[in-house]
Amino acid sequence: LETHPIIQCIIDNDLEELQKLLQDNSIDQVYPCKKWNDDITPLIAAVINHKRNICTYLLQRGANPDVPSQNGFTPLHYVSLSKAPLRFVKKLLEAKAHLNVCYLQQPLTPLHTAAIKDREDVLKELIDAGALVTLFPINYPESSTHNKQLSQMIHVLLNSSNKHGENSLWLKLPQPVIILKINIFSFTKRSGNISTL
């Protein structure tokens, strides 16, 4: 798998070359990327290589923030996978990226990926924007471990407050999410069957 020239010029931060190549190539097509062993969009390449100016340019050109890679990950997934700065989440949300998207290739939402990669900042941003907090699929490897981690992260967020002693997350979370948090704790403590929640 060789890296496509479009992806390579994003890695090299060569906006001028990218503009030329996009004259004859689709902005939302996926192209091979050797480093990630995935076919990715130019927007995903901008995210995983932390190229803010190219990300902004692509979004201004109308790049779709929901087009997944061949492996089923969107730019929002790749923020956590590539340890990209939080500002990329904000940019993608401004571009109306869908929060709860997942594909057949992999059953995880961007929120799940944030939990796996221990991105509390991304998790909070996604929840603030209205992302659904759901359990990991039962058939996903180590789902009970990941559910426990997700629960602990939400617990920390719910118990944290800003410098004024306020916690805006309580106001943004719907009641079912708070119940889910309690249920995950209950499930992980008793190690019972997930279907009994």
Same domain, 87 and 163: no
37 and 66 part of one domain: yes
Domain with 123 in it = 103-188
Q: Are residues 81 and 12 in the same domain?
A: yes
Same domain, 110 and 91: no
CATH number at residue 14: 1.25.40.20
Cα separation values, 110 from 103, 104, 191, Å: 11, 14, 26
* Token pair listed for 81: 């996978």
Could you tell me if 4 and 39 lie in one domain?
yes
In a domain, 195, yes or no: no
194 domain-assigned: no
Whether residue 144 sits in one domain with residue 172 = yes
- pLDDT 10s digits, 149-162: 998 998 888 887 55
Task: Let me know: does 44 contact 59? Beta carbons within 8 Å.
Answer: no
Q: Is residue 183 part of a domain?
A: yes
When pLDDT is averaged across residues 123-152 and rounded to a whole number, the result is 90
User: Quick one: the chain helix, strand, coil %, rounded to 5?
Assistant: 50, 5, 45
pLDDT over 60 (residue 170): no
* Pair (115, 29) in one structural domain: no
Mapped onto helix, strand or coil, the DSSP state of residue 88 is helix
Kindly state the tokens that stand for 114.
Answer: 């944030």
Q: Give the tens place of pLDDT for each residue, 30-76.
A: 999 999 999 999 999 999 999 999 999 999 999 999 999 999 999 99
